Amino acid sequence: PIYMDYSATTPVDPRVADKMIPYLREQFGNPASRSHAYGWSAEAAVEEARAQVAALVGADPREIIWTSGATESNNLALKGAANFYKTKGKHIITVKTEHKSVLDTVRELERQGFEATYLEPQDNGLISLEQLEAAMRPDTILVSIMLVNNEIGVVQPIAEIGELCRKKGIIYHCDAAQATGKVHINLENLKVDLMTFTAHKTYGPKGVGALYVRRKPRVRLEAQMHGGGHERGLRSGTLPTHQIVGMGEAFRLAREEMDGELGRIKALRDRLAKGLMEIEEVYINGDMEHRVPHNLNVSFNFVEGESLIMAVKDIAVSSGSACTSASLEPSYVLRALGRSDELAHSSIRFTIGRFTTESDIDFAVNLLKEKVGKLRELSPLWEM
Ligand code: PLP
């Protein structure tokens, strides 16, 4: 099948894989070994990668902590900050359309005695700053609002959110797992205190990520992983040199190639949208203006979700109906935008990227036109 599920994970760029291999073979040293050249060269590679990750987002390399991915970064940020600052207050604000690794972590904090507000997004998927400000309390210690949504690709106003949080002395955490290489991030200007990154959504390997932890003004965290005191005590465990080198190279390439790539990807996405809109009763989910060009999320009215996914097996996409799970729950993100169960179920998330071609797009459009037509002919709900 043609791969159009770049927000689930991206292929590893071959240039990234080439960079990683020597660190699996000859350069196998432990970066924490201080007494010989094996350790020194591994440590140098880790520090070069740290600088590459920092450079993409305008951070100081000392503000980058290695983790196993965005799930761990979100856990470390939220549990770490909530527990460090719990004597200041116990209220946390997030949004109903956050990734599960934020929502379930906040739920767990609620079980431990914290209180949480889950903001409703507007119909276009964006949060309202007025609503955010109204939700802030004197005992609010932490706000967690993502940069790019994984299902609908909308871009939240993180500069404004940061201003508001800083003004009120609230820590701001932002999950940017889906944002690197897609939108410009400059942490020198943004008032974000903690930011989550992962390699495998940006052409790097799975199983490695990072957490940005601001130094000025300094943000403190309680460690969640205890042991050898790696990463300045914030995250113990031997660093996976080859993974880290891969993430560094992936982020270096993103920084170099992003501007050239975005126009091409937007043209492909617009071609996809135009083609699909030629089908009747098709609805785009999420704001089209404040959105990354890599994402198109579309609901096809009058077709049944499961049948639709079965019918388009020749393209690898994600569906708004969790047909792999036993629950048959429609996407909670689309439901939060006010979409009906039916439209949430019959939605498809197309996410494209570096290796998508025009002929991939044309194939997908033709496939959808044919299959949606056929399914509607069979549907009692569709009357023409
Ligand atoms: N946050 C967002 C917005 C994501 O899209 C993902 C990916 O599924 C994650 C967090 C989890 O990332 P990881 O697979 O690196 O743990």
Element (H, E) at 282: strand 282-284
178 lines ligand 1 (CB under 6 A): yes
Of the pLDDT bands very low, low, confident and very high (cuts 50, 70, 90), residue 306 is confident
Residue 175, SS3? strand
CB contact at 8 A, 265 and 352: yes
Of the pLDDT bands very low, low, confident and very high (cuts 50, 70, 90), residue 329 is confident
* pLDDT digit string, tens, across residues 11-55: 999 999 999 999 999 999 999 999 999 999 999 999 999 999 999
The CATH class for the domain spanning 14-253 reads: alpha beta
Q: Where are the alpha helices (DSSP H) in the chain?
A: 14-24, 37-57, 70-84, 100-111, 129-135, 158-168, 241-276, 305-311, 332-336, 341-345, 358-378
Which residue has its alpha carbon closest to ligand 1 atom 8? Answer: 8
Where do the CATH 3.90.1150.10 domains begin and end in the chain? 258-362
Residue 169, SS3? coil
pLDDT at 321 over 80: no
Where do the CATH 3.40.640.10 domains begin and end in the chain? 14-253
- The hierarchical CATH code for the domain 258-362 is 3.90.1150.10
pLDDT at 199 over 70: yes
Mutational test site, ligand 1, from 94, 101, 144, max ligand atoms within 8 Å of CB:
101
Q: Is 295 annotated as ligand-binding?
A: no
Q: How far apart are CA 104 and CA 112, in angstroms?
A: 13
Lateral strand order in the sheet of 347-351: 282-284, 295-300, 347-351, 318-319
Confidence (pTM): 0.97
CA of 237 to the centre of ligand 1 (A): 21
* pLDDT digit string, tens, across residues 250-292: 999 999 999 999 999 999 999 999 999 999 999 999 999 999 9
Q: Is 17 annotated as ligand-binding?
A: no
